[in-house]
Amino acid sequence: MSKRSIVNDLYKSRKRVCTAPSSAINETSEFNDGLNGTSFSAAEIPSDTKVSLLHLKELFPLERFEGRLPVVIVKHQLYSLINDRTAVDKELNTLKLANEIKLFKLGAELDDYCIVFTKEYQDHVIKVMSELCISKNICNKFVNTVIKKYTDVCINKDTLMNEFNFTDSEITQLVKASVLTVRDVGNWWVALPNAGIFMKCFLRGRKAIVTMIRKCKYREILQTELEQRKWPKVCKLGLQYHMHEVIGADLIKCIQTTSGLLLRLKDS
């Protein structure tokens, strides 16, 4: 945002504009989300973050993974769509506490979180557990306690044993199913099974896009040109997905030019 527009806000006129009282007070207007036809009533207009999450959900190529993964969104992608990072963080926190999404720590940096919608996570966990022949008992217990009630990224032994009544052998079964991964003695991360498949594609794709830009003259390229380049078939996640992710992770600087958006590799 240019400095002038910020400064002009301070000097904006204070005239109050009179609005005619709306006649349709009792009717609740329906808004159609053009993406996939879901409609929201006026009372629950989704926040910016939620709309971006739904948009990014469309970018994830589910068919390529043959049902082994649910839709995974990386938190950085939201930063590339919405300017105000603090607002994104706050809204994600409210969604997390309302148990609509689940956050998982995935990646080397302290900040790398992945977002999965709770419903899809639940289905995915049930499927994985039945494939590995883990007893239905444990599976249901995990779904009803940890997925439905617990919203944090990591969980420790006290919570599992005292609040949710898991025994040691049941915990071992959960680790075997890779819904819990060991962090420390008595501390586990709540994890996404088959996350390894996702991470492999993700790292490959990120490396591909960064190398593509690095090979350009002056290490910069117009967004439209990048979209026309050949994308290696090995990286299944797709160019758009990685572009959002790499912009939000601060590896790439976006500069508005007269011929569109220019992506420049940040000096390091």
Partner 1 sequence: MLKFLTARESGIDSPVVLRRIESTKRAYSLELSKHRDVECVFYGGINSLDIDPVESRYLLSGTVSGTLHIHDLTNHSGEVKHTTKAVCNVSRSNTYKHKHSVETVQWYPLDTGMFLSSGTDRTLKIWDTNSMKPADEYEFSGIVYSHHMSPVATTHCLVAVGCHSSTLKLVDLKSGSATHMLKGHKKSILTVRWSPKNEYLLVSGSEDNRVLLWDVRSSKGSLMSLDQFNGQEVPTFLSACTAHSGNVNGMSFTMDGLHLVTSGTDNRIRLWNIETGRNTLVNYGKIQNETRKGLQFAVSCWCKSDLIYIPDEYCNIQVYEMFTGRKIDTLRGHLQQVNCCVFHPDYQELYSGGNDRNVLIWEPELDGSYDNYLKERSSKKQTQSRSFVSRIAATADSWSSDEET
Residues that bind partner 1 (CB under 8 A): 1, 3, 6-7, 10-11, 79, 83-90, 110, 152-154, 156, 183-184, 187, 250, 267
- Nearest distance in Å: CB 3, partner 1: 5
Per DSSP, the three-state class of 39 is strand
- Nearest distance in Å: CB 231, partner 1: 27
- Which is closer to partner 1, CB of 13 or CB of 32? 13
- Which is closer to partner 1, CB of 214 or CB of 266? 266
- Nearest distance in Å: CB 111, partner 1: 9
- Nearest distance in Å: CB 80, partner 1: 12
> Half-sphere exposure (CA, 13 Å, Cβ side) for 201?
21
Going by C-alpha positions, the residue among 209, 211, 213 that lies closest to residue 222 is 213
- Nearest distance in Å: CB 167, partner 1: 21
Kindly give the residue spans of alpha helices, DSSP state H, lying in the chain: 3-10, 48-59, 75-81, 85-97, 118-131, 136-142, 148-149, 157-158, 168-176, 195-214, 223-228, 239-248
**Could you give the CA distance from residue 158 to residue 239 in angstroms, rounded to a whole number?**
43
- Nearest distance in Å: CB 228, partner 1: 29
What six digits make up the tokens of 203? 């790292």
- Which is closer to partner 1, CB of 89 or CB of 123? 89
| E strand or H helix that includes residue 191 | none
- Which is closer to partner 1, CB of 139 or CB of 192? 192
Going by C-alpha positions, the residue among 76, 85, 120 that lies closest to residue 101 is 120
- Which is closer to partner 1, CB of 61 or CB of 186? 186
- Which is closer to partner 1, CB of 63 or CB of 184? 184
264 to 8, 47, 221, 239, 252: CA distances (angstroms)? 30, 30, 7, 16, 6
